[in-house]
Chains A and B, each alone.
Chain A
Amino acid sequence: MNMMILQRYKNELIILITLLFLIFSAIYKYSADIDVNKNKRSTKETITQINHIKTLKKQWGGKQLANRVKILKTVVPNDKVVLFQKKSKKLTASYKNLTGTQVSKLTNKLIDIPVQITRLDVQQSAKNLYTMEFTCKW
């Protein structure tokens, strides 16, 4: 009896099966779409966050900074360097009788190096002569 019914309605059955296939494949596509959008956003956010952390750490905690700050001693004549003390990850420096150009040059070098400037004092001591002190860490 069942086989007869199947035979009689085989066309409808074929359409029903293919329609079910269509419905399930549409559900699969829809759920894949939702899952992927959700995961993709989360994955991209994590990647961006990790890359941001790597950049920040490299910039503000780079291992080469201890060497890079040495240039702050050589950029002006040695007799103008009063103090250049590097201790652990901290630098304290003091200069005297710097010309305006030398102050500018030294300041530009300082801001080019990604160190944390905790203190900076530039004071005119005489006409076109300056004293400069700063403390930075990394």
Chain B
Amino acid sequence: MDSVSLKHNIEIILTPTFYTFIREELDIRFAYQAKQIAQSLFDDYLDPSREYQYHVSKSNGAWYFYAYDIEEIEAFIESKGIEKHRVSKIYFAQELSEELTQPLQVDTQMALQTIEGIITMIPLSLMESDVEFKTLKLEDLKLKNGVSMGASHTSLVSLKETILLSSLFLILGGTFIMEGYRIQSSTAEDESELMRLLDDNPTYGSSMIRESILEKYQPIDKLERQKRQSIKDISKLLSAKSELKALHIEKSKISADISTSNNNIIKQIQKSAKETNLKTSISGNSVKVERSL
């Protein structure tokens, strides 16, 4: 083959010189399963010192296994002056088995022909001198089981590991996204409640107004609750043996005078008042209780 110079990408068809082919009828459904056993099928046929790549395809109910050395192919391509990145796809001549019932002359010494369904290289010297060679019209060929040059190199990570790792990452990533979405949605209920409250009371939208209202009402709430609790506490000090003389609520103080004729009752009132944090002072038979507000 003469050297060529290319400025566009090409596809090439490999002759059996560059690959080893096995056809097997196996009970295998998927190509990846076939690829897994490919290496073992070629164990007895390949040079163990070389590194091979494997390609599988299915045709007429049988699996077609190809073993090839991509470095050998690249070296050949480059020896012919073709830059290897110009080769986009590699096809195997076995795909031409139906077309090559008549021999196809490859060069001055060899021809390709289908023998018992398998494409074989035959030296021209073994052929009859009046043999008629077939002319192959490449544009009419429909080749479908090619491999790309890049994909032929052994990847650092196996397909199985790739599927396993990427599935794990996808599942985890999907979980994170769902969780993130769920978290974001969790505020929707609070936000709709806030919107409803603000629709009913638009002025409460401002935090300054809210603070101002609270500043007005919170002290009132605190003071009035204190007054009411104090009245209840004082009323608990009264009994059948004591009498209320006076009760006053002023701006910052609540006080009451309770009279009784019994000293024990005075002590009892004092004790109960202390428990509820009321100040007491005794004057004769009366007790004055008070609390600052």
How far is A18 from B210 in the complex, measured between Cα atoms in Å?
A: 49
B217 x A60 contact (CB < 8 A)? yes
Interface status of B224 (Cβ within 8 A of chain A): yes
Per a CB cutoff under 8 Å, which of A19, A25, A50 touches B177? A25
In the complex, chain B residues whose CB is within 8 Å of the CB of A43 = 187, 190-191, 194
How far is A116 from B227 in the complex, measured between Cα atoms in Å?
A: 9
In the complex, chain A residues whose CB is within 8 Å of the CB of B191 = 43
Q: How many A-B residue pairs have CB under 8 A?
A: 175
Looking at the assembled complex, report how far the CB atom of B222 sits from the nearest CB atom of chain A, in whole angstroms.
11
Known A-B contacts A36-B184, A47-B194; A29 and B85 likewise in contact (beta carbons under 8 Å): no
In the complex, chain A residues whose CB is within 8 Å of the CB of B179 = 29
A18 x B151 contact (CB < 8 A)? no
A25 x B220 contact (CB < 8 A)? no
How far is A40 from B186 in the complex, measured between Cα atoms in Å?
A: 9
A7 x B148 contact (CB < 8 A)? yes
In the complex, chain B residues whose CB is within 8 Å of the CB of A22 = 169-170, 172-173, 176
Task: Enumerate B190-231 residues with CB–CB distance to A below 8 Å.
Answer: 190-191, 193-194, 197-198, 201, 204, 207, 210, 213-214, 217-218, 220-221, 223-224, 227-228, 231
In the complex, chain B residues whose CB is within 8 Å of the CB of A117 = 224, 227, 249
B-contact 0/1 string along A1-40, CB 8 Å cutoff:
1011111111110110111011011101101110110011
A21 x B249 contact (CB < 8 A)? no
How far is A103 from B184 in the complex, measured between Cα atoms in Å?
A: 59
Choose, from A64-72, A73-81, A83-91, A118-126, the stretch at the interface.
Answer: A118-126
Per a CB cutoff under 8 Å, which of B151, B177, B204, B249 touches A8? B151
Looking at the assembled complex, report how far the CB atom of B208 sits from the nearest CB atom of chain A, in whole angstroms.
12
B-contact 0/1 string along A88-127, CB 8 Å cutoff:
0000000000001001100100010010111111111000
In the complex, chain A residues whose CB is within 8 Å of the CB of B224 = 60, 114, 116-117
How far is A120 from B247 in the complex, measured between Cα atoms in Å?
A: 7
Q: Quick one: closest B residue to A100, CB to CB? A: B244
In the complex, chain B residues whose CB is within 8 Å of the CB of A12 = 155-157
Looking at the assembled complex, report how far the CB atom of A43 sits from the nearest CB atom of chain B, in whole angstroms.
5
Known A-B contacts A47-B194, A50-B210, A60-B224; A36 and B187 likewise in contact (beta carbons under 8 Å): yes
A-contact 0/1 string along B217-257, CB 8 Å cutoff:
11011011001100110010000000111111111000000
In the complex, chain A residues whose CB is within 8 Å of the CB of B204 = 50, 53
B170 x A11 contact (CB < 8 A)? no
Known A-B contacts A43-B191, A114-B224; A11 and B148 likewise in contact (beta carbons under 8 Å): no
* 17 A–B contacts, CB within 8 A, in A order: A9-B155, A9-B156, A15-B169, A17-B166, A18-B165, A29-B183, A32-B184, A33-B180, A36-B184, A46-B194, A47-B194, A54-B201, A107-B235, A117-B249, A118-B251, A124-B244, A124-B246
Residues on A facing B (Cβ under 8 Å): 1, 3-12, 14-15, 17-19, 21-22, 24-26, 28-29, 31-33, 35-36, 39-40, 43-44, 46-47, 49-54, 56-57, 59-61, 100, 103-104, 107, 111, 114, 116-124, 128, 130, 134
Which 10 pairs between the two chains have the least Cβ-Cβ distance?
A: A7-B150, A4-B150, A120-B249, A29-B180, A18-B169, A56-B217, A122-B247, A25-B176, A25-B173, A32-B180
